[in-house]
Structure 1
């Protein structure tokens, strides 16, 4: 069975199937922040979405992180590692992209287990 949660105009924010939850891309609300600030805000939003779906960051399976400026990757990594314990890191890919939208520096997609 597939369950869909938090519908937006173009997608469902969360889709659940067979004990796994899949999230659409998450961006910061405050695009005036630097890459570390945007990443911290995204991590907080992911925490809230995970809780809404009945999971937590301890159950993350995988992450895809899109960044528009690879010279700032270490700032993103700082926020990421402040948020996650080294023992709980999911698989991850960091992908450089030309443009994520006006002043958007980071977009994160995650999947997590429910149990």
Structure 2
């Protein structure tokens, strides 16, 4: 087993990859929008774009996402979030998902998304 950490900081890594030899598990940290002044839709799109970018580093796509946890500042944003989510998730590849109302670390953040993906044995990227 090999563990690869991407964008490692003192408290967390943006993504940790566990290489099991025949498959790899990708654990992404909770992602938030770079521009916290955007509305829920804008923030959600930024977050999902960032998730796509991180997955691509390991040769993965959104079709490989097996689990997602979505944190919303306001549960009233649930329908708007689902509209964006439904556009992003490929048909036939819905991951297990939980959505939670939560007080996020910055009061301007409206959404944070954490995902886990699984991919077959393809060469690992270097951080």
* TM-score, normalised with respect to structure 2: 0.85
CA contact (8 A) 2:30 2:113 kept: yes
Divergent runs of 4+, >2 A: none
2:85 aligned residue: 80
CA radius of gyration, larger in: 2
Distance 1:71 1:89 in 2: 22
Distance 1:6 1:98 in 2: 25
Backbone CA RMSD of aligned residues: 1.2
Q: Does 1:96 align with 2:101?
A: yes
Structure 1 unaligned segments of length 5 or more: list them: none
Q: Does 1:107 align with 2:108?
A: no
Structure with greater helix percent: 1
Q: Deviations over 1:2-42 (max 9, x none)?
A: 12122134211111112111011100011111111111111
Structure 2 unaligned segments of length 5 or more: list them: 121-127
How many residue pairs get aligned? The number is 115
